[in-house]
A and B are shown apart, each in its own frame.
Chain A
Amino acid sequence: MTQSTSHQEPAIGLARLAQLFSMLWQFIGLGRVNWGRLMVIAVPYFWLALFFFIPFVVVFKISLAESAIAVPPYSSLLDWDLEEAYLNIKINLGNYLFLWEDSFYLDAYLSSIKIAVISTLLTLVVGFPIAWLIARSEGTTRTVLLALVILPFWTSFLLRVYAWMALLKKSGPINDILMAVGLIDQPIQMLQTDFAVYIGIVYTYLPFMILPLYTALEKLDMTLVEAAADLGYRPVQSFFAVIVPLALPGIVAGCLLVFIPVVGEYVIPALLGGSDTLMIGRVLWDEFSINRDWPMASAVATVMLVLLVLPIMLVRNRADDQEGKA
């Protein structure tokens, strides 16, 4: 008794921090927190602060400025008037207002989220059987299958997307084969459609779905599935009653690992999508390089980040609740 009280009392804040820490840790799929490793993880934290947090503050700052024909092309927020001893702080919320007023941006966000949701589900549907197969195979087979999942990373992501362009184009092999077989008379337009975008995204992000799923499924005790069968559950029923709940941490991790980068995806829609494939990453790029409106581009980026952080927070809170119950 005395042990536990002396353990809890002094630093609830520290315990909370440690808990958040362990959550993040488990979320990345590294298992339970080892406090010895904490020292090691301090390094990436420093890295994140330097290359994520500080740049984000800079971007946020720019989003509150006004576009200007200058170098850099935006107004400064702070204006020192040394003679009068004035500090003028000029914050421009106009960019955010414009984001809200011009439905183009809202459409782009919604379309990005739609594409991200659909492709996350597609990746899940394609990735689950693959992860299951790997988790259920043994020895060398498992090693080989895992290596095959990781193998595409050995070539550049851009090259692989270009390869898809070659495959999907009108005179590409897919159209050739379909015509040779006689399924179609004319080549179908696949490139520059949402279809091509989904193919590209699912293909690219599949490993990020498979690996966490595999980790979760590998730990799954198959006698539980037998127990469900014994208690009257057909395979499909026991899939939803036993396998899915137990693989849930892997499913959630995989979905987030796919969903988050896909929302901001720029290269795939730019190369494989058509002009009507509206995604926020592309809007951001256009705003930045074509319109040269850095503050507007920064506002778009800031809102996107908030939209991405929200689902993580929700998932984290859910995990928090479960931890509390257990």
Chain B
Amino acid sequence: MTIAELSPEQQKDTNKAAAKNPLTAPAPDLWRDPNAKPFVVFDNVTKKFDDFTAVDNISLNIYRRELFCLLGGSGSGKSTLLRMLAGFEQPTSGRILIDGVDMAGIKPWNRPVNMMFQSYALFPHLSVEKNIAFGLKREGLADGDIKKRVANMLDMVQLGHLGKRKPHQLSGGQRQRVALARSLVKNPKLLLLDEPLGALDKKLREETQFELMNIQEETGVTFVVVTHDQEEAMTLATRIGVMNTGNIVQVGEPHDIYEYPNSAFVARFIGSVNLINGRIIEDEVDSVRVKSQDMDAPLYLNHGISCAPGQEVNVAIRPEKIMLSRELPEQTDNRCEGTIEDIAYMGSMSIFRIRLDSGKEIRVTQPNIARDMGARFTWNDRVHMYWDVDSAVVLTS
């Protein structure tokens, strides 16, 4: 089997190696039900610091048992949104509702919300047990009950043997678990996680994100996660809200955000993408033909958005959806030719940087299905690239 014979479906699967754990029951997809009652509501929320607008008129619904990821770069307003849920910041205008209750004027210590801080914020003077018991002490529980709940939490995060240690005697991964246990032990209605995996190294991060998902599904708590790491968001989230300069640019399930980004910003932010600039030459009900100066053949693709002939658009195509061949493909649309400029061998796949005659660079990734795949194409080879009607999307913004 050659790369060219791989269907886009298979390629997609290889790429999304980190699939959800099939053993645990999926969360109910409440957000797909138009009649479902949202659990967290942002209603035209704006937050200004002096004359800087951190959050710009955001409206957003998050549903019960969701693991919602706010994804964005630094300064996108994602952390401010989270801090407003925790009660550390008050919106300049707009309303925030949690479980139907307007949170205006409700102090952090009175909210049914707990937060896991990016720095973990473990109390350095208290042992692991006492850190976890810290929040329970305010609830006037009997000592025995506190002990039992702390022990349960410690077992859940597999730290039963480290209860007596102080935070500075723990590794980064262990601290992260303590922070998680401490924020979950009060059974919050809503758990906020600020870059929960940010301080962990790559391998640990992969293990921990599955654990986090399992814990979320086990406890049934609604999670709101802030992250700048798109891979983390893709794996963890039931839905992702992509943020940019105080706005939510797109909200959707990871699959939708990846396959149907609504703007060049989202397409670029999530994964890598080739953006080909062109003009619409033919607009039909469910398909469109685009002519780009970068390639001879027109781009022909299925689409569902409204646009007009002559309009300037970007066509986004993911690197893994492009196929390579030495022979001219039979299709007359969706193809181009270029010279391989660079190959990066990544083990599971190879990344090709191919220069078109127009000077445009196209990035193509190919899974290394057989061992000698890498030898099929080499530097300075002329190659043809082609893709399916379903592979690319039109972006009007």
**A interface residue numbers (CB < 8 A to B):** 221, 223-224, 226-234, 237, 241-242, 245-246, 326
**Interchain nearest-CB distance for B85 vs A (Å):** 11
A231 CA / B133 CA spacing, docked (Å): 10
Verify A232–B121 contact, CB threshold 8 A: no
Most chain A beta-carbon contacts within 10 A, residue among B121, B135, B168: B121
A227 contact set on B, CB distance < 8 A: 115, 117, 121, 123
A242 CA / B138 CA spacing, docked (Å): 14
**Interchain nearest-CB distance for B146 vs A (Å):** 13
Q: Does B42 contact A (CB under 8 A)?
A: no
Q: Does B107 contact A (CB under 8 A)?
A: yes
Verify B108–A246 contact, CB threshold 8 A: no
Verify B108–A226 contact, CB threshold 8 A: yes
Q: How many A-B residue pairs have CB under 8 A?
A: 55
A232 contact set on B, CB distance < 8 A: 109, 135, 138-139, 186
Q: Does B75 contact A (CB under 8 A)?
A: no
Minimum-distance CB pairs A-B, first 9? A231-B135, A227-B121, A232-B138, A229-B108, A223-B121, A245-B125, A230-B115, A232-B109, A229-B109
A221 contact set on B, CB distance < 8 A: 119, 121
A242 CA / B113 CA spacing, docked (Å): 20
A226 CA / B79 CA spacing, docked (Å): 14
Most chain B beta-carbon contacts within 10 A, residue among A226, A231, A232: A231
30 contacts between A and B (CB under 8 A): A221-B121, A223-B121, A224-B123, A226-B86, A226-B88, A226-B108, A226-B121, A227-B117, A227-B121, A228-B123, A228-B134, A229-B107, A229-B108, A229-B109, A230-B108, A230-B109, A231-B109, A231-B114, A231-B134, A231-B138, A231-B182, A232-B109, A232-B138, A232-B139, A233-B109, A233-B138, A245-B125, A246-B124, A326-B166, A326-B168
Give a binary string over B103-131; 1 marks a CB under 8 Å from any A CB, 0 the rest: 00001110001110101010111000000
**Interchain nearest-CB distance for A216 vs B (Å):** 12
Contact A234 to B117, CB < 8 A, known contacts A226-B88, A246-B125: no
A237 CA / B108 CA spacing, docked (Å): 13
**Interchain nearest-CB distance for B84 vs A (Å):** 13
Contact A223 to B138, CB < 8 A, known contacts A232-B186, A242-B123: no
A230 CA / B109 CA spacing, docked (Å): 5
A79 CA / B87 CA spacing, docked (Å): 80
A223 CA / B113 CA spacing, docked (Å): 16
User: Nearest B residue to A230 by beta-carbon distance?
Assistant: B115
B107 contact set on A, CB distance < 8 A: 229, 234
Which residues 40-60 in B have Cβ within 8 Å of A in the complex?
Answer: none
A241 CA / B133 CA spacing, docked (Å): 12
Which residues 131-148 in B have Cβ within 8 Å of A in the complex?
Answer: 134-135, 138-139
A223 contact set on B, CB distance < 8 A: 117, 119, 121
B182 contact set on A, CB distance < 8 A: 231
**Interchain nearest-CB distance for B189 vs A (Å):** 13
B134 contact set on A, CB distance < 8 A: 228, 231, 241
User: Nearest B residue to A242 by beta-carbon distance?
Assistant: B123
A224 CA / B139 CA spacing, docked (Å): 19
A326 CA / B164 CA spacing, docked (Å): 11
Choose from A224, A231, A242 the contact partner of B186 (Cβ within 8 Å): A231
**Interchain nearest-CB distance for B302 vs A (Å):** 47
Choose from B115, B121, B135 the contact partner of A224 (Cβ within 8 Å): B121
Verify B138–A237 contact, CB threshold 8 A: yes
Most chain B beta-carbon contacts within 10 A, residue among A221, A230, A242: A230
A234 contact set on B, CB distance < 8 A: 107, 109
User: Nearest A residue to B166 by beta-carbon distance?
Assistant: A326
**Interchain nearest-CB distance for A243 vs B (Å):** 11
Verify B117–A226 contact, CB threshold 8 A: yes
Choose from A230, A245, A246, A326 the contact partner of B86 (Cβ within 8 Å): A230
A237 CA / B134 CA spacing, docked (Å): 12
**Interchain nearest-CB distance for B15 vs A (Å):** 37
Most chain A beta-carbon contacts within 10 A, residue among B86, B87, B135: B135
**Interchain nearest-CB distance for B181 vs A (Å):** 12
B119 contact set on A, CB distance < 8 A: 221, 223
**Interchain nearest-CB distance for B193 vs A (Å):** 12
Most chain B beta-carbon contacts within 10 A, residue among A223, A227, A232, A245: A227
User: Nearest B residue to A223 by beta-carbon distance?
Assistant: B121
**Interchain nearest-CB distance for A191 vs B (Å):** 45
User: Nearest B residue to A241 by beta-carbon distance?
Assistant: B134
Which residues 164-196 in B have Cβ within 8 Å of A in the complex?
Answer: 166, 168, 182-183, 186
**Interchain nearest-CB distance for B174 vs A (Å):** 17
Give a binary string over B185-213; 1 marks a CB under 8 Å from any A CB, 0 the rest: 01000000000000000000000000000
B121 contact set on A, CB distance < 8 A: 221, 223-224, 226-227
User: Nearest B residue to A235 by beta-carbon distance?
Assistant: B109
A237 contact set on B, CB distance < 8 A: 138
A87 CA / B88 CA spacing, docked (Å): 79
A246 contact set on B, CB distance < 8 A: 123-125
**Interchain nearest-CB distance for A4 vs B (Å):** 17
A229 CA / B88 CA spacing, docked (Å): 9
A246 CA / B121 CA spacing, docked (Å): 13
A237 CA / B138 CA spacing, docked (Å): 9
A242 CA / B87 CA spacing, docked (Å): 19
User: Nearest A residue to B188 by beta-carbon distance?
Assistant: A230
Give a binary string over B74-93; 1 marks a CB under 8 Å from any A CB, 0 the rest: 00000000000011100000
